[in-house]
Amino acid sequence: MKKIFTLMLAAFMLFALSGCGDSKSQQGSVQQKVMSSSSKQEFEPVTEVKEGRKNVYAVLKVIKGAYWQEVVRGLKEGGEAANVNVYVGGVMKDGDWELQRDMLKELSGKKVDAVVLAPADSVNMTDSAKLLREQNLPVALVDTMLSSNDYDAAFMTNNLEAGEAVCKKMVEQLKANGVKETDKANVLIQLGTLASRTISDRAESVVANWAHYAPVNWKLVPEYVIDYGDATGAVQLITDRINKTPDVKGVIACNNSSTNAAVEAIMQAGRKDIAITGFDLGKKTVAGFEDGGYNIAVAVQNQYKMGYDAVLAAAAAANGSKPAVKDTNTGIKLVDKTNYKK
């Protein structure tokens, strides 16, 4: 099944690459802006530091935002439960794997017993993870999978299942908006980066499952809106694409920042006819729920559990205990304006 998903995504992406030059130019300028503003947060303790305890260092792919604050809260409270010192650092921009790689290299000069890693790039961070394990440092992953088996445990959403759930939900939302099966309807896919296996798995699953749930006249637009996590640029990118694409009835956003941007874009334009299905409960998404007039739904992840359980597993591995389960699905819940307050 995984192979089928991969082949379908590859075919889809080959078609997507033939898209309009203007869109590529816009996305290229956004990417350049994001990468030129790279920065990081140095390692800081989030637990009380006590002598004689194991030291767990967490290196995150994004260090700011409500989603990652919940990850850090889980890391902190997991560290307290496991009786270890937890230090947290990371990069500011998703996809900045070179800076994250350099932060991992810094660990050689610190007293480290285990590492919690949210990879900034699923492929390019594999060598760094392999090197950590060669140094006998346990590696627990959160949020994002590596494209190798160089880790001891992983705690994250099953993103193929989540992508299917989001795909199905979008079809339900379009029907709720009054779109008929005989109507022409285009749905855009927006995402922060394809370098993250987390995000690419979600998009891959949406593409693979669309024909199963959607009528034949409802189409996914075969060119992704890639915003590279730039908040301002993301809103402009999706706004421009909506304006240039006929019969847009929905946007599927595959990560938190892209979801916020898509919600902000349709609210600025007053486009209550466009449904949005995305991920995580960001501030803009909550504003869309509170307005009440927009059809928005998101898959909310359990990022607190990711951080909490990852520290427990890292601490246990540092003490010589092998995790009973290597890959743990922390689950999702579909949320809309009817239940988000819960």
pLDDT of residue 6: 46
Task: Assess whether 280 and 206 both reside in one domain.
Answer: yes
Backbone φ, ψ for residue 86 (5° rounding) = -120, 125
Residue 4, in any domain of the structure: no
Task: Give per-residue pLDDT as tens, 59-86.
Answer: 999 998 889 999 999 999 999 999 999 9
Task: Give per-residue pLDDT as tens, 23-42.
Answer: 555 555 544 544 455 599 99
Task: Assess whether 49 and 165 both reside in one domain.
Answer: no
Confidence of residue 212 (pLDDT cuts 50, 70, 90): very high
Q: Choose between 14 and 312: higher pLDDT.
A: 312
225-245 average pLDDT score: 93
Tokens of 89: 């650092």
Residue 213, in any domain of the structure: yes
Residue 237, in any domain of the structure: yes
Backbone φ, ψ for residue 37 (5° rounding) = -105, 25
DSSP state of 195: S
- Other C-beta atoms closer than 10 Å to the C-beta of 4 total 10
Residues of the chain with pLDDT > 70, as a percent, come to 89
Rounded-to-integer distance, Cα 277 and Cα 294, Å = 11
Task: Give per-residue pLDDT as tens, 257-280.
Answer: 999 999 999 999 999 999 999 999
Q: Please check the confidence at residue 144 and state whether its pLDDT lies above 90.
A: yes
Task: Assess whether 294 and 162 both reside in one domain.
Answer: yes
Count up the domains in the chain and report the number.
2
Q: Please check the confidence at residue 17 and state whether its pLDDT lies above 80.
A: no
- Other C-beta atoms closer than 10 Å to the C-beta of 24 total 13
Range of the domain at 42: 38-156+302-330
Task: Give per-residue pLDDT as tens, 214-226.
Answer: 999 999 999 999 9
Q: Please check the confidence at residue 15 and state whether its pLDDT lies above 50.
A: no
Task: Assess whether 280 and 322 both reside in one domain.
Answer: no
Confidence of residue 94 (pLDDT cuts 50, 70, 90): confident
* Residue written as token pair 């660990």: 107
Task: Assess whether 128 and 163 both reside in one domain.
Answer: no
3-state secondary structure of 164: helix
Query: What integer best gives the mean pLDDT of the chain?
Result: 90
Rounded-to-integer distance, Cα 100 and Cα 237, Å = 27
Task: Assess whether 185 and 297 both reside in one domain.
Answer: yes
Residue 32, in any domain of the structure: no
Radius of gyration of the chain (CA): 20
pLDDT of residue 93: 83
Residues 6+ apart with CB under 8 A from 249: 174, 177, 179, 183, 185, 186, 187, 218, 273, 274, 275
Lowest mean pLDDT among 26-40, 157-171, 322-336: 26-40
Task: Assess whether 45 and 150 both reside in one domain.
Answer: yes
pLDDT of residue 138: 97
- Other C-beta atoms closer than 10 Å to the C-beta of 207 total 23
Task: Assess whether 130 and 211 both reside in one domain.
Answer: no
Residues 6+ apart with CB under 8 A from 230: 30, 33, 34
Task: Assess whether 223 and 202 both reside in one domain.
Answer: yes
Write down the pTM of the prediction. 0.83
Task: Assess whether 177 and 132 both reside in one domain.
Answer: no
Residue 30, in any domain of the structure: no
Residue 206, in any domain of the structure: yes
Q: Please check the confidence at residue 202 and state whether its pLDDT lies above 50.
A: yes
pLDDT of residue 116: 98
Residue 13, in any domain of the structure: no
Strands 296-301 and 332-336: antiparallel
Task: Assess whether 194 and 273 both reside in one domain.
Answer: yes
Residue 311, in any domain of the structure: yes
Task: Assess whether 132 and 224 both reside in one domain.
Answer: no
Provide the CATH number for the domain around residue 142: 3.40.50.2300
Lowest mean pLDDT among 8-22, 209-223, 270-284: 8-22
